[in-house]
């Protein structure tokens, strides 16, 4: 008999209940700093009591924790307002005016931080080492409840400046990176248009001197720092940047950078003098998490490269387009394995922005102009990867290849995912001009930061042998040097990627936590993916560790031993699948499920999957250990029931009533009942549930506090408490 052993610990409800209020991090300000400096910073979030450490990915950044503050409770706010009313009725002495000013500021801060997810603050002191590599880091806070999810923190090489909120304009010297927040000033008039109800706009301005002929570049990082806001439309801080001369005339304005929301402004300075750059939100909003970094000066900036990739381990000469670049091309040494790397150009010791560069093992060639129609189509020998460009508006690139009846052909465009402006579409026609297949947008859930899925994947079974024409064009009939692409044409190459959600796993010592694993299937791969832990703490166990064939996600559980590792540790999840004659191994990328504008979900990648084991294992004199016993996956008949036994040795009973519940089960599966002592659970499947459905069931244990004599209802917040999660129970729906 195969035993699924669950080290479940049930305690008296009062003793073992754990808070479900996980710590949440909403923003960090400033969202970066110059290497070789030390500076104060603030993080805002929720449930941040007892922050003990700050964990920063990469190297070169140390953070010390300072004071934690919370906004006053509603009762305290009411008392302060009452006191303010009393003071306003008193004679206006200097002492009264001073107290009124303090109360007004306190109440304004409380109103500004009314959003619960941003209400608490923790002061930090950040030290960036002189040799710290410029670029992004991930910052997480550790509390007694565990780790927060990560937030981006950027190490820069330019001098850093904080906005001066006390003045209308902050004077700066170029080049520099300015850190700011768009926080409305209560009572201040709205500037630049009517703001939404209940909000007042904020506008930040910076004055500087510039010389005639300078190629000024202003790069805003806002959405790039906090990609998604759950409770805002369009789902991020939509920054705009404008440039004015000393007389207040607008010279340039940008509200994006092609399809990227963060704006980049480029302008050749016409005359020596003073200029003002202005940043605001496009729809006149402001809040503490509207954080930005504005890098401005005669900075190098890459707007595009060609080709968009190369072959593993080979050097590729790449053409560069952009501003203030030291040369028009560079030689890129591709990584030894397929994937996407980044490259940047440097000028005067300041690196440019990073751009994507794909590495693929397919035979590669250029498109070969002219190839604008079927008569001039370029002949391809499959498999092949074509580096091309839609050079002018209305142009199309056409390719010709020979196929056999029954062949399956995949044509995939990489463009938008690599920073190209191309919004591609593909059409496949046969020798008689009949359309065999066509395709436009293809959503790639692996690109969690991309909301405009403009790349194309076309899969077709060829009906007959002979020539076939493949036509690629831009949907909007646009073109130019920034409309580059990589076109792969081949037989299917089944493969997969993995995402683990969330990127911070918090679990009490000796307990179990559930998390999700997503499979991103490619080129028709439909098989099982077996999961395993790598570099996990000794004694850690993964249950339900298979993503069933044909499914894109599954919830699994991790059970940790009684001994806590003491500090958060990196965890790795590996997936194995049989594809053809080979076993393919892929390491999962950590990610967080972010909500955009109240509705859309995105898997935002993180650098590391972190495990934080909190507290200590429950005391054995209070424990009631239990085991699920089942032979393999639990077989549940469609339209019927199946029982699973929870084996427990005799032990001490505890105060309260225990209930067993299914956590987010598949549709049609319910927990029908449990025996009076909780030793047997009965699972039910509706008749419409498809036979062959496989997956995991996550069972949670909930305590319901008993009423004390004389009570008519339990104390607030103590009626139901989550006690424990059982290791994942694999199941399969079978015919009756």
> Chunked in runs of 10, what are the mean pLDDT values of the chain (736 residues)?
40 37 92 97 95 94 94 83 90 89 80 77 96 95 95 96 91 97 62 38 91 97 95 92 97 94 97 97 92 97 96 95 94 93 85 95 91 92 97 96 97 97 97 95 90 94 97 96 97 97 94 95 97 90 95 95 81 96 96 92 95 73 55 90 75 56 92 75 90 92 67 56 86 91
| Per-residue pLDDT, 148 | 96
Last residue of a domain, one of 491, 512, 538: 491
pLDDT of residue 523: 96
Q: Is the dihedral of CA 477, 307, 522, 236 positive or negative?
A: negative
> 186-195 long-range contacts, Cβ below 8 Å, gap at least 24?
186/108, 186/111, 186/112, 190/284, 191/280, 192/280, 192/284, 193/284, 194/284, 195/284, 195/285
Q: How many domains does the chain have?
A: 4
Q: Report if residue 425 sits inside a domain.
A: yes
Residue recorded with tokens 């239990």: 626
Residue 563 shares a structural domain with residue 479: no
Distance CA 282, CA 280 (A): 6
Secondary structure class of 34 (helix, strand, coil): strand
Composition of the chain by helix, strand, coil, percent to 5: 5, 45, 45
Half-sphere exposure of 220 (CA within 13 A, CB side): 32
Question: CATH number for the domain including 707?
Answer: 2.60.40
Among 344, 359, 374, the domain boundary falls at 359
User: CA 202 to CA 609: how far, in whole Å?
Assistant: 37
Please check whether residues 420 and 318 belong to one and the same domain: no
**CA 641 to the chain's CA centroid:** 39
Same domain, 368 and 484: yes
- 82 backbone dihedrals φ, ψ, rounded to 5°: -65, -40
Beta bridge partners of residue 16, listed in sequence order: none
Residues 355 and 369 in one domain: no
pLDDT value of residue 618: 55
Same domain, 352 and 370: no
The CATH number that applies at residue 504 is 2.60.40.10
Same domain, 602 and 637: no
Is residue 148, in this structure, part of any structural domain at all? Answer: no
> Are 522 and 573 part of one and the same domain?
yes
Give the strand pairing for 146-147 and 61-69.
unpaired
Express each pLDDT in 310-328 by its tens digit: 999 999 999 999 999 999 9
Q: Are 32 and 177 in contact (CB under 8 A)?
A: yes
Range of the domain at 728: 624-734
Angstrom distances, CA of residue 477 to CA of 304, 386, 392, 474: 19, 20, 9, 5
pLDDT (0 to 100) of residue 70: 85
pLDDT at residue 195, as a whole number: 41
In a domain, 350, yes or no: yes
Do both 501 and 595 map to the same domain? yes
The answer as to whether 253 is a domain residue is no
| Phi, psi dihedrals of residue 690, rounded to the nearest 5° | -70, 130
CATH number at residue 444: 2.60.120.380
Answer whether residue 115 is part of any domain. no
Q: Is 469 helix (H, G, I), strand (E, B) or coil?
A: strand
Q: Are residues 601 and 577 in the same domain?
A: yes
Residue 648 lies in a domain: yes
219 inside domain: no
501 and 598 both lie in a single domain: yes
Contacts of 434 (CB under 8 A, 6+ apart): none
d(CA 192, CA 708): 60
Question: What does the alpha-carbon distance between residue 58 and residue 591 come to, in Å, rounded to a whole number?
Answer: 17
Same domain, 662 and 702: yes
Structure tokens belonging to residue 130: 């002189």
Domain-ending residue, one of 438, 457, 491: 491
Contacts of 50 (CB under 8 A, 6+ apart): 68, 143, 144
pTM of the model: 0.88
The values of phi and psi at residue 143, to 5°, are -130, 175
User: In this predicted structure, what is the pLDDT of residue 78?
Assistant: 87
In a domain, 726, yes or no: yes
Which residue in this structure is represented by tokens 């305690």?
A: 11
d(CA 377, CA 389): 15
Let me know whether 665 and 703 are in one domain.
yes
């Amino acid at each position: 008999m195969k035993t699924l052993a669950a080290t479940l610990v049930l305690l008296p409800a009062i003793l073992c209940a754990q808070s479900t209020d996980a710590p949440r991090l909403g923003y960090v300000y400033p969202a970066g700093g110059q290497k070789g400096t030390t500076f104060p910073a603030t993080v805002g979030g929720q449930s941040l009591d007892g922050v003990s450490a700050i964990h920063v990915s990469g190297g070169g950044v140390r953070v010390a924790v300072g004071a934690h503050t919370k906004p006053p409770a509603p009762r305290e706010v009411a008392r302060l307002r009452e006191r303010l009313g009393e003071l306003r009725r008193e004679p206006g002495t200097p002492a009264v005016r001073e107290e009124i000013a303090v109360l007004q500021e306190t109440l304004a801060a409380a109103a500004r931080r009314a959003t619960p997810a941003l209400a608490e603050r923790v002061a930090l002191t950040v030290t960036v080492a002189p040799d710290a590599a410029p670029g992004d880091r991930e910052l997480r806070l550790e509390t007694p409840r565990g780790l927060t999810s990560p937030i981006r923190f950027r190490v820069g090489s330019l001098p850093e400046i904080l906005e001066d909120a006390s003045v209308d304009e902050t004077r700066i010297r170029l080049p520099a990176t300015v850190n700011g927040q768009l926080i409305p000033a209560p009572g201040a008039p709205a500037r630049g248009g009517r703001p939404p109800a209940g909000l007042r706009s904020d506008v930040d301005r910076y004055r500087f001197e510039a010389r005639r002929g300078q190629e000024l570049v202003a790069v805003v990082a806002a959405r790039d720092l906090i990609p998604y806001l759950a409770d805002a439309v369009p789902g991020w801080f939509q920054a705009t940047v404008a440039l004015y001369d000393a007389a207040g005339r607008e010279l340039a304005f940008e509200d994006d950078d092609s399809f990227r929301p963060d704006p980049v402004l480029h302008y050749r300075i016409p005359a020596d003098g003073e200029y003002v750059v202005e940043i605001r939100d496009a729809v006149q909003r402001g809040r503490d998490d509207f954080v930005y970094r504005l890098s401005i000066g005669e900075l190098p900036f890459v707007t595009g490269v060609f080709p968009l990739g190369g072959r593993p381990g080979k050097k590729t000469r790449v053409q560069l387009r952009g501003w203030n670049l030291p040369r028009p091309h560079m030689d890129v040494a591709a990584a030894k394995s397929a994937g996407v790397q980044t490259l940047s150009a440097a000028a005067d010791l300041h690196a440019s922005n990073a751009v994507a560069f794909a590495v693929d093992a397919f035979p590669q060639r250029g498109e070969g102009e002219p190839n604008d129609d079927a008569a001039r189509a370029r002949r391809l020998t499959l498999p092949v990867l074509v580096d091309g460009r839609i050079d002018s508006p209305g142009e199309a690139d056409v390719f010709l290849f020979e196929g056999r009846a029954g062949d399956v052909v995949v044509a995939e465009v990489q463009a938008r995912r690599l920073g190209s402006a191309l919004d591609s579409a593909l059409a496949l026609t046969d020798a008689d001009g009949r359309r065999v297949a066509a395709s436009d947008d293809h959503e790639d859930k692996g690109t969690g930061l991309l909301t405009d899925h403009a790349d194309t994947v076309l899969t077709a079974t060829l009906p007959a042998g002979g020539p076939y024409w493949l036509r690629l064009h831009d949907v909007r009939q646009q073109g130019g040097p920034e409309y580059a692409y990589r076109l792969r044409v081949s037989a299917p190459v089944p493969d997969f990627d993995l995402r683990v959600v969330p990127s911070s796993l918090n679990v009490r010592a000796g307990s179990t936590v559930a998390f999700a694993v997503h499979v991103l299937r490619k080129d028709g791969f439909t098989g099982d993916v077996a999961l395993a832990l790598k570099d996990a703490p000794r004694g850690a166990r993964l249950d339900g560790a298979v993503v069933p064939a044909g499914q894109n996600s599954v919830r699994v559980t991790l059970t940790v031993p009684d001994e806590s590792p003491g500090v958060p540790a990196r965890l790795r999840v590996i997936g194995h699948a049989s594809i053809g004659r080979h076993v393919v191994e892929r390491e999962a990328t950590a990610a967080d499920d972010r909500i955009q504008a109240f509705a859309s979900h995105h898997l935002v990648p993180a650098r590391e999957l972190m495990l934080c084991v909190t507290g200590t294992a429950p005391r054995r004199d209070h424990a009631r250990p239990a085991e699920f016993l089942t032979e393999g996956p639990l077989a549940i008949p469609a339209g019927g029931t199946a029982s699973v036994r929870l084996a427990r040795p005799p032990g001490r009973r505890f105060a309260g009533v225990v209930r067993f519940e299914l956590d987010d089960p598949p549709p049609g599966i319910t927990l029908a009942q449990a025996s009076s002592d909780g030793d047997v659970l009965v699972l039910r499947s509706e008749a419409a549930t498809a036979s062959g459905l496989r997956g995991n069931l996550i069972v949670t244990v909930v305590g319901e506090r008993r009423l004390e004599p004389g009570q008519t209802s339990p104390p607030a917040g103590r009626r139901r408490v989550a006690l424990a999660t059982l290791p994942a129970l694999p199941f399969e729906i079978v015919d009756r």
